[in-house]
Amino acid sequence: MKITRINLYRYDISLKAPIAISLGTIEHARNMLVEIQTNESITGWGEGSPFWMIAGETQSSGLAAAHDMARLLIGRNPLDIEGCINALVRYLPAHPTTRSAFDMALYDLAAKAAHMPLYQFLGGEKRALVTDETIYINTPERMVADALRIKEKGAEAIKVKLGTNLRDDIARIEAIREAIGDEIPIRTDANQGWDTITAQAVLRGIGDWNVQYCEQPIKRHDIAGLRQIRQHVAVPIMADESLFDAADAIRLVREEAVDYFNIKLSKSGGIFEALKINAIAEAAGIPCMIGCMSESRLALTANAHFAAARQNVRFCDLDGCFEHADDPVYNGITYNGYQIELPELPGIGAEVDSAFLAQSERISIA
């Protein structure tokens, strides 16, 4: 089998409203699609969701890099996933989000060739997956209203974005906990918004309010600070922006810096690297979460397949499409409340509406 053509798409999806985290505000999901075609009429699809404030990529920079990446893969055997990914890494060691779209398309294509759903191709089986839903930074009143709405929908956990300042962040969690009661766990995420002293103060302040963990309380490079926080607060600590690849995973394990890992395909460079990260975590006794950026149900389905295939993935944060005003994806995962149902189709089992694609800018490399 040979790769004969690769199509790249600007994959713009409107949001219901801007969403705010400590690193900035997102007004549109400006994603990218990669379509890999072969001489055996098997096609693979992948999606990347660039977050400039996290991965240092934009849609435009990603598409420019993708053009060169596509030229490297033309004529290669797409079933040689390791060889294809290593070629991309050697050429452009960075650009993990762009690479993740190619990676996803290669795995989609390989699983289709094997006539298997992706979770089965990865050596797993279908299992129960439950996502949380995220509340973004806003006034305490608006965040309480969102928490009540999510509780009414039957959520088993609520994720709350923090990372502004000591007083306001404690007030947000206090107000939410008072409104929804004590039973539903709250998962917090500061997105690097605090310094070490503030992080410890906030987490001590909210530590008795059934807070399941805190993601990335401080700057990504401060591994010693993560270890210090973990040693002095009761709330478990999860690495997010500190964890891009397997080398980061080894460093975090060596330093005993965190309790959990957050794996995101758009951040890790895709499934190939995510499998390494999870293996390191599993060997070290560190459970993982599968997270997301602002992907459509195409990439969210691939993330869910990965979670189903690896028992060490304990948590799911696959709610990115909840904020989208449009859903251009056929098949793929479905949500029964917050329960995630995987498709049984070969490959990822999701595809983008052709009419939606017809309105999207396309770049073709053959």
In the chain, what are the domain boundaries? 3-116+353-365, 120-351
What does the pLDDT read at residue 28?
85
Annotated binding site for Mg(2+): 189, 215, 240
Span 319-348, mean pLDDT? 96
Residue 229 has pLDDT above 90, yes or no: yes
For residue 80, what are its two tokens? 């040689």
Residue 18 has pLDDT above 90, yes or no: no
In CATH, what is the architecture of 120-351? Alpha-Beta Barrel (3.20)
Helix or strand or coil: residue 43? strand
Residue 20 has pLDDT above 90, yes or no: no
329-354 burial: b if 16+ Cβ within 10 Å, else e: beebbebeebebebbebbbbbbbbee
Is 3-116+353-365 assigned to CATH 3.40.250.10?
no
What does the pLDDT read at residue 29?
92
Which of 14-23, 41-50, 252-261 is least confident?
A: 14-23
Residue 55 has pLDDT above 90, yes or no: no
Annotated binding site: 189, 215, 240
What does the pLDDT read at residue 180?
97
Span 110-130, mean pLDDT? 97
- Tell me if 3-116+353-365 shares its fold with 120-351: no
235-263 residue pLDDT tens? 999 999 999 999 999 999 999 999 999 99
What does the pLDDT read at residue 35?
98
CA 137 to chain centre: 19
Span 59-78, mean pLDDT? 97
Span 48-67, mean pLDDT? 93
Residue 175 has pLDDT above 90, yes or no: yes
Residue 141 has pLDDT above 90, yes or no: yes
- Whose tokens are 């075609």? That residue is 37
What does the pLDDT read at residue 45?
98
Which of 24-38, 201-215, 268-282 is least confident?
A: 24-38
What does the pLDDT read at residue 52?
82
Residue 330 has pLDDT above 90, yes or no: yes
Question: Do the Cβ atoms of 21 and 163 come closer than 8 Å?
Answer: yes
Cα separations (Å) of 64 from 45, 71, 73, 217? 18, 12, 15, 33
For residue 53, what are its two tokens? 């404030």
Active-site amino acid positions: 161, 264
283-301 residue pLDDT tens? 999 999 999 999 999 999 9
